[in-house]
Amino acid sequence: MADLVPFLMFQKGEAAEAMSFYVSLFPGDAVLTDQRYGAEGPGPEGTVVMAEFTVAGQRVRCSDSWVTHEFDFTPSVSLFVTCDSKEQLARVYDLLLEDREALMPLDDYGFGPFGWVNDRYGVSWQLSAPAAT
């Protein structure tokens, strides 16, 4: 069977820091695998070759690219998370928004509570909660 897993490529050596932050957002999330470059490279020692972790129960992979690319993250592709409650939505939104600017401030846009933010690493998040929570 085919397997689809979102993949995040970091270009500033921030994959480990971002992964640690992301697994702290929702209860039960964890780092599943974490392979790092050694002194032999080709990436800087200690940066992430490939890692896998969970966010809101979803597997996500990440790495640090040792090659500089002409592109980076874009809000046209985002992680969409449906939170369990308005309170959880507000907490996660505030954590992701820290030192950043909202793409859509936390509000009810006619389909329930929703917010959209690019986090400090450039990853775009759309967050919602059921309207009746």
Please report, for the domain that includes residue 89, its CATH number. Answer: 3.30.720.110
Strand partners, 61: 7, 52
Please report, for the domain that includes residue 34, its CATH number. Answer: 3.30.720.100
Residue 22: helix, strand or coil by DSSP? helix
Structural domains in the chain (count): 2
pLDDT of residue 99: 84
pLDDT of residue 131: 81
Max intra-chain CA distance, the chain: 54
Q: Evaluate if residue 4 carries a pLDDT over 70.
A: yes
* 101 plus 55 within the same structural domain: no
- Does residue 73 form part of some domain? no
- Does residue 104 form part of some domain? yes
* 26 plus 56 within the same structural domain: yes
Q: Cα 58 to chain center, whole Å?
A: 11
Give the mean model confidence (pLDDT) for residues 72-79: 93
If you average pLDDT over every residue of the chain, what do you get?
A: 95
Residue ranges making up the domain that contains 52: 7-64
Q: How confident is the model at residue 37 (pLDDT cuts 50, 70, 90)?
A: very high
Output the pTM of the full model: 0.91
